[in-house]
């Protein structure tokens, strides 16, 4: 990870109430006077961590990280009520307006790329550029690839059998629905067992040969349940968007520059998704990475990401500001710690 910038701590940490009982963990890192960038984590449900602070030059960028509803350090953990894609897009605008940001680079991978694209199509005037990794278009075919027997399951037959065997025979015609019901169970043991099986399948495909990680404490187990529950919640509801919405609305990306990174060996989100996006977004540049999979933590992906972020900063540094959009109401700071 020599390509990453040195570890840093936030210069400000906030709790932002966005309504319906949700309070988001938001942190600012780097330079308060730098170009703003917001990083959108994947999942859905994974949350942010210290590594993401190191993806951007802290002397040049005002780095905004936050945990989406119900994830990470946002509260309540694992809460799925009032937790939809539309809610997440509204939260982004609340964060932007609350921090006094006119436009920002919107960056993310996998589900974070999905959310970034939906945000840019809904709020193009707020989006200076996009930096994406492992594009997930959230179409029915993209979800089916990962959760049906005729997709990536053919490449991991033993892990697939273990994933399917966690459910009763009558539940296996709707794997996501079956897991969703168990992950929402009031019985902690039922939910925990489903979360471990969900994580094992996800980790096996994403990491290729590395063994899937398992929770090492009660706190880890709670986060594993929350992460799996939110992921299943979104996937069970087709990510709360009309099928093929991103590509159908790609014309709204016109004028927004972007870089798309994709590993050629990505088993979670096949590279054809980024290729389809690039074909309808003329201002984008797609970079395919050989011998690289889905995870941001892979060395070749990290190196490509940092280089792309540096290049976008040079490109945006001379961009004129656009007219400020009207704010989305409803957000308020509960606490703010300045360090």
Task: List the chain domain ranges.
Answer: 12-138+241-338, 141-240
Going by pLDDT thresholds of 50, 70 and 90, the confidence category of residue 319 is low
Q: Is 262 a catalytic residue?
A: no
Point out the catalytic residue in the list 67, 74, 79, 110: 110
Active site residue 110: yes
Whether residue 310 lies in the annotated active site: no
Mean pLDDT of 56-75: 98
Q: How confident is the model at residue 221 (pLDDT cuts 50, 70, 90)?
A: confident
Chosen CATH of 12-138+241-338 out of 3.40.309.10, 3.40.50.1820, 3.40.718.10, 3.90.1150.110: 3.40.50.1820
- HSE at residue 136, side-chain half, CA atoms within 13 A, is 29
Question: What residues have CB less than 8 Å from 109, skipping those under 6 apart?
Answer: 42, 132, 133, 134, 261, 296
Asked whether residue 207 carries a pLDDT value surpassing 90, the answer given is no
Active-site choice (14, 22, 294, 313): 294
Reading across the β-sheet that carries 127-133, which strands appear in turn? 284-289, 258-263, 127-133, 104-109, 35-40, 61-66, 22-30, 12-19, 332-338
Distance CA 30, CA 53 (A): 8
Q: With 60 as the cut, is the pLDDT of residue 41 above it?
A: yes
**In 3D, which of 214, 181, 231, 202 has the Cα closest to residue 70?**
231
Q: Which entry of 262, 266, 274, 313 is annotated as an active-site residue? A: 266
Alpha-carbon distance of 38 to 62, in angstroms, equals 9
Instruction: Identify whether the C-beta of residue 92 lies closer than 8 Å to the C-beta of residue 38.
Output: yes
Q: Which of 65, 45, 47 is nearest to 55 (CA)?
A: 65
Say what the pLDDT of residue 322 is. Answer: 38
Q: What are phi and psi of 113, to 5 degrees?
A: -70, -40
49 pLDDT more than 50: yes
Whole-model pTM?
0.93
Query: Contact 257/201 with Cβ under 8 angstroms?
Result: no
pLDDT above 70 coverage of the chain, percent:
90
């Amino acid at each position: 990870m020599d390509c990453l910038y040195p570890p840093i701590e936030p210069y400000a940490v906030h709790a932002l109430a966005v309504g319906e009982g949700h309070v988001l963990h938001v942190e600012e890192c780097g330079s308060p006077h730098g170009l703003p960038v917001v990083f959108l984590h994947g999942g859905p449900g994974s949350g942010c961590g210290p590594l993401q602070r190191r993806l951007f030059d802290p002397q040049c960028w005002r780095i905004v990280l936050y945990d989406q509803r119900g994830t990470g350090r946002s509260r309540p953990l694992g809460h799925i009520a009032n937790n939809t894609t539309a809610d997440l897009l509204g939260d982004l605008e609340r964060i932007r307006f609350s921090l006094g940001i006119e436009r920002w680079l919107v960056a993310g991978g996998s589900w974070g790329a999905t959310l970034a694209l939906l945000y840019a199509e809904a709020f193009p005037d707020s989006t200076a550029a996009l930096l994406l990794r492992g594009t997930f278009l959230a179409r029915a075919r993209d979800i089916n690839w990962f959760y049906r027997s005729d997709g990536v399951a053919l490449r991991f037959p033993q892990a697939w059998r273990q994933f399917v065997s966690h459910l009763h025979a009558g539940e296996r015609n709707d794997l996501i629905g079956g897991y969703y019901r168990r992950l929402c169970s009031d019985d902690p043991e039922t939910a925990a067992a489903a979360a471990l099986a969900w994580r094992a399948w996800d980790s096996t495909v994403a990491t290729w040969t590395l063994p899937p990680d398992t929770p090492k404490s009660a706190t880890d187990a709670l986060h594993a349940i929350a992460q799996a529950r939110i992921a299943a919640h979104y996937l069970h509801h087709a990510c709360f968007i009309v099928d093929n919405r991103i590509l159908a609305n790609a014309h709204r990306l016109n004028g927004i520059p972007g870089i798309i990174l994709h590993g050629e060996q990505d088993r979670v989100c096949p590279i054809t998704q980024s290729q389809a996006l690039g074909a309808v977004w003329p201002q984008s540049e797609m970079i395919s990475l050989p011998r690289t999979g889905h995870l941001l933590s892979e060395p070749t992906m990290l190196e490509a990401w940092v280089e792309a972020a540096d290049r976008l900063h040079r490109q945006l540094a001379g961009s004129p500001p656009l007219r400020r959009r009207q704010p989305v109401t409803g957000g308020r700071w509960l606490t703010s710690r300045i360090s």
